[in-house]
Amino acid sequence: MLVVAETEGEDRSSNPLYFVSAEQTYLVRRSDSAERMYRLHELTWLWRNAELPRDAEFQDASGTWKPVRALVEPILEKARDEETRKSLPTTIRHSRAWWWAAAGGAVLVVVITMWPEWHDRYSSWRSAKAGERQKLERERSARTEDVVRSNEIVPGMVPQEVRRTIGPPRAVNATGDGSVQRWIYRKQVVVFENGKVIGVEAPE
């Protein structure tokens, strides 16, 4: 920010060059002109805009002449640090946004590239699972047929298999919700729970 004049009521905290008193004045001598009094903020502005010769000097409180550089450079350095600090969060946010965009683009490229292979693997996995289920179903059906032919009732049978094995029951007793049924035969009672045989009892 270029500071050339003061405004009454101005918020100096927003200006990094105002961390020292703007009313402080110094006697400055230049190689191309006579000595002159400058306020500190004027000196800072002139130096930053190269409107003071590099060999300009100021007189300190003890009357010693010193380079203007030694007076204003620390002020400018602090101002630059403050401006950098204020701009840093925005830079970080932009960097993060670019990073996420790049990461998202990379993931998308990988997905598009690998999709055919993943799809083939998934299809193969589904086919293998379906083959396993069919094999298990065939084995179960074979075991069930063996049991049906032997006229035995075993746990896990469903009503249709029991009918095929020993025929329809003489009577059926069931609980109110129908979850448990008792199929009564002349020589045995077949007990079902939730549609599957859980045991065989002797008739009462």
177-198 pLDDT, tens digit each:
989 999 999 999 999 999 999 9
pLDDT at 79 over 60: yes
**Residue where one domain finishes, among candidates 62, 83, 104:** 83
Query: Which of 89-93, 144-148, 200-204 is predicted least confidently?
Result: 89-93
- CA separation for the pair 52, 20 (Å, rounded): 20
Residue 104 lies in a domain: no
Phi, psi dihedrals of residue 92, rounded to the nearest 5°? -65, -45
Residue 99 domain-assigned (yes or no): no
Strand order of the β-sheet with 189-193 is 171-174, 180-184, 189-193, 196-201
- Residue 89 within a domain: no
> At residue 175, does pLDDT exceed 50?
yes
Q: Contact, 39 vs 28, CB < 8 A?
A: no
Q: Which helix (H) or strand (E) holds 138?
A: helix 68-150
Look at the chain and report how many structural domains it folds into. 2
Answer whether residue 115 is part of any domain.
no
Q: Last residue of a domain, which of 83, 105, 120?
A: 83
CA distance 18 to 158: 92
pLDDT score, position 6: 37
Of 181, 160, 156, nearest to 189 (Cα)?
181
Please check the confidence at residue 35 and state whether its pLDDT lies above 90.
no
Residues in CB range of 124: below 8 A, 6 or more apart: none
Identify the three-state secondary structure at position 8.
coil
- Residue 157 maps to a domain: yes
Handedness of CA 152, 155, 157, 159 (dihedral sign): positive
> Residue 8 pLDDT more than 80?
no
Last residue of a domain, one of 58, 83, 108: 83
Question: What pTM was estimated for this model as a whole?
Answer: 0.33
**Structural domain includes residue 39:** yes
The residue segments making up the domain with residue 200 are 151-204
Q: Give the lowest-confidence range in 41-45, 160-164, 170-174, 199-203.
A: 41-45
